[in-house]
Structure formats: structure tokens, C-alpha cells
Chain A
Amino acid sequence: MRRHRPTGRRDWFGRSFSGDDANEAGDSDDADDSETDKRAPAESSVMNPLQRYAPLVDDEEAFFAACERPLPSVVRVNTIKTTVARAREALDDEGVAYEPTDWHPGVLKLEDSSPGTNWPYFHGWLHGQEEVSALPAIALDPQPGERVWDTCAAPGSKTTQIAAMMDDEGVLVGNDNNLGRLSALRHNAERLGVTNLVVSNQDARNFSMKPFGERTPEQSGSFEQFDRVLVDAPCSCEGTCRKNPDVLDEWTMNHVKSVAGIQKGILRRAVQVTKTGGTVVYSTCTFAPEENEAILDFVLEREDCEVVEWDVPDGFETAPGITEWEGDEYDPSVTKARRVYPHHNDTGGFFTAKLEVTA
């Protein structure tokens, strides 16, 4: 039986979105399903992009079924302003039901998908963040006092998580090329009490170190390279279809190709401005190998870096990166990257690779 999403669902922030035209194309038997014919002719001629990935997943049926379910509301406890114990006590006091995730004590699944807002949220103790998007900061493993660059930071869920992991100390550069989105980053960072963030507005592909004193190394506070860089790249976002089914309707191969060019440019620049022995994490919320393993393969050939294993939290299921896709072959080391499919952990879809800079 096809599952229908309830209409008028609300997310954690109380924004409503209609779900009645949700991901109808998510079923594996949709190719010959008459219901898909309700779509406009131009759309119905386009295959559901998720179908492309059926050969990659271990359990097609579970994959498509998970993609069609709405995503649970999840919050991350902001340890800059409180402790996990105190945030949980405040939620208990307000009667907000939640369940800690198996793999992270500070990531809580809320039982009610429309909790509205509450005191711990007002105090900046909680931040609404999709569960799977907590992975890249874990792979990055930033340390207090380091210099870290988040290339595509807005609206700041991962940036503020990185700040908390740095004990809010050091230099965290949160960059975004979109000035409008930067105001969301600033708002979130200030609400969460972050004080080690430098907000910058550059095109990450040719990110200039000049503002940080690259040309005046004698000056106090100047630096020309980072210890760690996160490239959470713009992508075709199919992995967010449980939150925003429109991404599947809007998907085109042309977009994949154009965004892949941007991804290559950002990842190359990230490797260039990271010191030898430093870490670059590349992540997306797409399943498309053209935007994942192919990007790693491209950069491995051109920049001094290698893919390394990273410690996926216990209890969190992932699959290795792939080395073959539609006639293309990728460097064997990309299998060290981790793919996350929605049915694995009841999350969105995701891709995370960790690179070490070698020269």
C-alpha cells in the first residue's frame, strides 16, 4: 500500500509545509504506476532520480519506503550554553517527549513532530538539526584553539556544532557566498552563544587568505593555512527528500553536472589552504556518485591529499563509497568514504569523506 504523508505538517521551527504532493515517486514500482501520470507531461517523462541508485543499495524496498516517510524531528544539545543532562531535565520539566539517539547522547529525537518552541530552545540550549548532518563535524574532529574553515557554512547547523566541539575557542571561519544566508548563520551563531566564529562572505572556490594576514606573516594573529576544513558542498540534495520532497521534482542531470563543477572548485581550494597533515572533510546530502566519489577522484588526481578512514560512531550504519558508476571508475581509496542511506538509521541520505593533506 502506498503511504501518504499527512498534510500541513510542521517542522521544529513551526513552519508548515504541505505534504500531500509528497514523494509519490518514491515507490520502487512507480515506473508503471498510473498515479505518476497525474504529473505534468514534462515531469512524468523524467524518471524519479532515486531510481538511479537502486543498484547501489542493499535493500531496494527498504530504501524506497524510508525515502517516503517523513523525517523525525531531531535536536542537538548546544554544549556551549548548557550540558546534555540539564537540557534533558528542562525538556522533562516541560513534558516534551524525546529519545536520545543510539549513537550520540546530545542528539535527541523528539516524539512529537511539531513540538513548537520551548524554554530550552529560547535559551539556545537546543538547535534543530537533521540527525545525519551531525556526521561531518564528527569526521572533522576539530580541537579547541585550532583554525578551522567551514566553506559553505550558512545557515550554520554544522558550523555551530564545530564551534561546540572546539569548546568555542580558536578561529572558526564560517563562510558563505550568499549574503542573505549569512544573516541566518549570524543569528543562529549568536543565539547559540558562539564567540569563536569569523563570518566571511567569499566565493569558496577562490577563497582569499588575504583578510587573515597571509601577506603580513609578521603581524600578530596572522595565518595562511587552516588545520581543518569542512566542505559541506551545495548539491542536488536528494538525501533531504524526506524533509523536502520537492528536491526530487526539481532534480535534473544538468544541475548535477553544473553543481559538480562548483564542488570540484571548492574542494580543491580547501585542500590548498589546509596545512600538511591537516584534515579536509567533504560531505553532501546527495546519493549521486557524480557529486561524491567522482569529486574525490578528481581532486585526488590534482591536489596533494589522500582519502582516510574516519571513525563512524558505534551503532550508526553506513556503506562504503563506490568505485564504479555508469562506465566511470574511481580511485580505489574512495571506498573509505561513507554513504548513508535513509533506511540504514531512519535518517536522511548523506555522504562523508575524510581527506588528509599530504604536502
Chain B
Amino acid sequence: MSDDTAPDENWGQQFDRLPPTADDRVVEGRPSREEVVDWWEERFGVDPAVFDGYTFWEKGAGKIWAFHGEVVDPIKVEGLGMRILRTRQRHWKPSTNAVQRFCGDATKNVIELSPGEAKAFVNGHDQQLDWWEGDWGYLTAAHEIAGELEPLGVGLYLHGELRSTVPKGRQEELVKLD
């Protein structure tokens, strides 16, 4: 399958499994499974046990996918589980879908939005929220629904402003709420 690519280079046409640890790394710049799991724990307090049974993959430079099963490595398919993280850049960026899926029990960097703020957030609006006293950078934006806090997506907090990164295709799903 990978005859036409050397084992030590990243190749955008297939999914390559992440090495278990940095010591196992062959492809330059590719994060390890350990680094990815650690990142979710450090950033959001996600219990590493949440990812037991998951395999992690890179397709294209820095796009990391989580798959809840086992397949051969490498594999040439159109999709493998869920795109969870963008790496190979200074600040790793989580995806909206991954935060919704894995940050339900997040304990860190979760910004709770009021009903009005939540609505503006999922409609893609950036908001001045000076009351936030936590970290800057990528946050899990959440709101209360059916009695519990639930993640909405990823916000980028800088200089008192929460920027929404909710993709256009997901914004439409709330357009008619008013």
C-alpha cells in the first residue's frame, strides 16, 4: 500500500497511525499518541481513559483523527473516525466535533455562556467577554441544556474577546431558533 512513499515521510493520501511515544517517532513532526492524549488532559482535563480503545492517525500535514477501532496501518480511505486536532503548528487547535464528543466532562478551560452568549457563539459571532479570568487560547465553550453543562464548540480567547470557530455548516443548524 505504501510502496510509493518512504516510511519516514508524511503523505496526504493515506492515514498513518501515530507512534505510541516520541521515542518511537519515525516521521518528522508527527505527534505521538501520548502527546495527543496528554494535550487533551492538560488543556481540558479530559481523563486519558476516555481514549482507551482509540487509535490515532494523521492524514495530511498535522490533521489528527481518532478512531474507535483497529485497522491496518497505513490505510487509504476517505475518512477514519473523527478529525479531532490540528497539530504541526505552535498552538494545537481542537475541532468543534471533538470538543462536543470528548469534553462533556472537561474540568479546565471551559467557559460557560449565558443563553444569549451561547446563541451568538454558535451563530459565529465574536464577543467581548472581559469577565473571563482563565487562560487565553482555545477554550471549550459550553452552556446549560436539560439541567447539565454541554459543550458547544471551540472558542479562541484573546484580549478579552471570545472568537467563535463554529464552522459555517454547523451555524445553520441554529439559525431558526429565535
Listed in ascending order, the chain A residues whose CB lies under 8 Å from chain B are: 14, 80-81, 86-87, 89-90, 93, 116-124, 145, 168-172, 179, 182, 186-187, 189-191, 193-201, 211-213, 216, 219-222
* Contact string against A for B residues 146-178, beta-carbon threshold 8 Å, 1 for contact and 0 otherwise: 111010100000000000000001101111110
Of listed B66, B72, B83, residue having the most chain A CB within 10 A = B72
| Alpha-carbon distance between A199 and B76 when the two chains are bound, in angstroms | 10
Contacts of B148 on A, CB cut-off 8 Å?
86
- Does B53 lie at the interface of the complex (its beta carbon under 8 Å from any beta carbon of A)? yes
7 contacts between A and B (CB under 8 A): A86-B146, A119-B177, A122-B174, A179-B78, A189-B79, A200-B77, A219-B72
| A182-B97 in contact (CB<8A) | no
Q: CB-CB < 8 A to A221: which residues of B?
A: 70-73
Q: Which 7 A-B pairs have the closest CB atoms?
A: A199-B79, A116-B176, A213-B72, A221-B70, A89-B146, A193-B101, A199-B78
Distance, CA A90 to CA B147, complexed state (A): 9
Contact B150–A123 (Cβ < 8 Å): yes
What is the predominant secondary structure among interface residues of chain B facing chain A?
mixed
CB of B158 to closest CB in A, whole Å: 25
For the complex, what is the distance from the CA of A194 to the CA of B148, rounded to whole Å?
Answer: 22
- Report Cα–Cα, A194/B97, bound state, in Å: 9
CA distance A199 to B170 in the complex (A): 20
Given contacts A116-B177, A119-B145, A195-B101, contact A186 B71 (CB under 8 A): no
B69 in contact (CB, < 8 A): yes
Contacts of A121 in B (CB 8 A): 173-174
Q: Is B136 an interface residue (CB 8 A)?
A: no
Count residues of chain B with CB under 8 A from any CB of chain A: 38
Which residues of the partner chain A approach B68 to less than 8 Å between Cβ atoms? 168-170, 195-196
Contact of A195 among B67, B73, B173 (CB under 8 A): B67
- B25-58 residues at the A interface, CB under 8 angstroms: 53-54
Q: Are A220 and B72 closer than 8 Å at their CB atoms? A: yes
With known contacts A90-B146, A93-B146, A212-B71, A195–B54 Cβ distance under 8 A: yes
Please, which residues of chain B bring their CB within 8 A of the CB of A169? 53, 68-69
Whether A197 lies near B97 (C-beta < 8 A) is no
CB-CB nearest in chain A for B174:
A122
Report yes or no: A199 in contact with B77, Cβ–Cβ below 8 A: yes
In the bound complex, residues from chain A placing their C-beta under 8 Å from that of B75 are 198, 211-212
B contact residues around A190 at 8 Å (CB): 82-83, 97
Say how far A143's CB is from chain B's closest CB, in angstroms: 13
Chain A proximity of B1: nearest CB distance (Å): 8
B64 at the interface (CB under 8 A from A): no
Smallest CB gap from A179: residue in B = B78
* B100 contacts the other chain (CB 8 A): yes
* Interface membership of B80, Cβ < 8 A: yes
| A221 (CB) vs chain B CBs: closest residue | B70
- Closest residue of chain A to B83 (Cβ to Cβ) is A190
How far, in angstroms, from A220 to B74 measured CA to CA in the complex? 11
Contact of B79 among A124, A197, A219 (CB under 8 A): A197
Q: Does B81 contact A (CB under 8 A)?
A: yes
B169 lies within 8 A of A182 (CB): no
A117 touches B174 (CB 8 A): yes
* B110 is an interface residue with CB less than 8 A from chain A: no
B80 touches A198 (CB 8 A): yes
Please name the residue on chain A nearest to B172 by beta carbon: A117
B18 at the interface (CB under 8 A from A): no
Indicate which residue in B71, B76, B83, B100 contacts A124 across the interface (CB closer than 8 Å). B100
Q: Which residue of B lies closest to A88 (CB)?
A: B146
Contact residues in B for A172 (Cβ distance below 8 Å): 69
Task: Tell me, in angstroms, the Cα distance from A196 to B101 when the chains sit together.
Answer: 13
Known pairs A117-B176, A196-B67 / 10 extra A-B pairs, C-beta < 8 Å: A93-B146, A117-B177, A122-B122, A122-B174, A182-B78, A182-B79, A193-B97, A194-B82, A201-B77, A220-B70
Contacts of B79 in A (CB 8 A): 182, 186, 189, 197-199
Contact B101 A170 (CB under 8 A): no
Whole-angstrom CA separation of A14 from B172 in the bound complex: 10
Q: Are B72 and A212 in contact (CB under 8 A)?
A: yes
A222 touches B72 (CB 8 A): yes
User: Which residues in A have their C-beta under 8 angstroms from that of B67?
Assistant: 195-196, 198
Contact between B69 and A171, CB atoms less than 8 A apart: yes
B124 to chain A, nearest CB (A): 13
A117, B175: Cβ atoms closer than 8 Å: yes
Contact of A201 among B78, B83, B100 (CB under 8 A): B78
B24 vs chain A, min Cβ distance (A): 15
Chain B residue, CB-CB nearest to A87? B146
Residue of B nearest to A196 (CB): B68
Given contacts A216-B72, A220-B72, contact A81 B101 (CB under 8 A): yes
- Contact (A171, B70) CB under 8 Å given A116-B176, A119-B177, A122-B174: yes
